[in-house]
Copies of this chain bind each other. A is one copy, B any other.
Amino acid sequence: MTDATQGLQERLAAIIANTQPGQRLPAEPDLARELGVSRASLREAMRTFETQGIIHRRPRAGTYVMQPPAVIESGLEVLESIDTLASRIGLPVSMGDVSILRRTASAEEAAALGIEENFGVIDIRRSILTNQKAVAYLIDILPEGLVGDEEMRDFQGSVLDLLIKRGSPPLQSSRCEISVVQANRELAKIFGIQRGDGLLMFKAWLYTVSGQVIDYSFSYFLPGYFRFHVVRRVGQVLNPNLNLINK
């Protein structure tokens, strides 16, 4: 996606975010004029949000901002920080050492964040303790320039909570990959376990409403202290393309 397209995407995202769910957006010709683009370009940008279920377009009636689905389950469907989760479960947790450093992005991180290699990133690492024992270790990689210095100084909780609290850019969802990894020396030392012991790992991409990755994170969990669940629908896979592609 080109820079100009990205900019339009973000400006449109802001307009959508500032519209009450259920409310109608301005008509396309008006919106295009407001954004200074042609109606065709606007429609392409809108298609992105329609694909994500953020807006719904009704021919001859208008385009409406969707109501975010009601959250009932308390599983992985909803993104919440470990801190929020722990306090909800009643697990007394404290934060261990926090490491915040600026460095340049590795190739993998640059690809994940959609930035150039060697672009600056902020690397935040911290452990979650219960009874003086580490039960989770969290690494967040963010593009430089997103979080100010003063924000960083009084950083006490989770990166996610910080981003949610500041409100901009508006967040959309997180893609979370679940896997098991063997503890390397660093992780073994942090958790006080043997090298090679299994750890539950979440690798997550946090997306803004404009589709940009704002946080690339690795979360390691000591088995036995956390229980994650997800409710799975019975039915068809929604993405029809994958079916076609692999037939």
The residues of A with any CB-CB pair to B shorter than 8 Å are: 1-2, 10, 13-14, 16-21, 40, 43-45, 47-52, 54, 57, 59, 65, 68-69, 71, 75-80, 88-90, 164-168, 170-182, 196-200, 204, 206, 209, 211, 221, 223-224, 226-247
Q: Are A17 and B51 in contact (CB under 8 A)?
A: no
Cα–Cα, bound, A182→B183 (Å): 13
Q: Are B232 and A79 in contact (CB under 8 A)?
A: yes
Q: Are B182 and A244 in contact (CB under 8 A)?
A: no
List 8 interface pairs A-B (beta carbons < 8 Å), by A numbering: A13-B244, A17-B240, A17-B245, A68-B245, A76-B76, A78-B235, A89-B246, A174-B234
Q: Report chain B residues within 8 Å CB of A170.
A: 237-238, 243
Contact pick for A227, options B2, B19, B45, B179, CB 8 Å: B179
Q: Report chain B residues within 8 Å CB of A71.
A: 233, 235
A208 to chain B, nearest CB (A): 9
Q: Are A232 and B174 in contact (CB under 8 A)?
A: yes
Q: Which of A18, A45, A77, A234 has the most CB of B within 10 A?
A: A234
Contact pick for A20, options B236, B240, B246, CB 8 Å: B240
Q: Report chain B residues within 8 Å CB of A237.
A: 75, 78, 80, 88, 164, 167, 170-172
Q: Are B43 and A232 in contact (CB under 8 A)?
A: no
Cα–Cα, bound, A233→B200 (Å): 21
Q: Report chain B residues within 8 Å CB of A17.
A: 238, 240-241, 243-245, 247
Q: Are B69 and A240 in contact (CB under 8 A)?
A: no
Q: Report chain B residues within 8 Å CB of A57.
A: 1
Whether A78 touches B1, Cβ cut-off 8 Å, given contacts A198-B197, A233-B69, A246-B166, is no
**Chain B: CB-nearest residue to A50:** B1
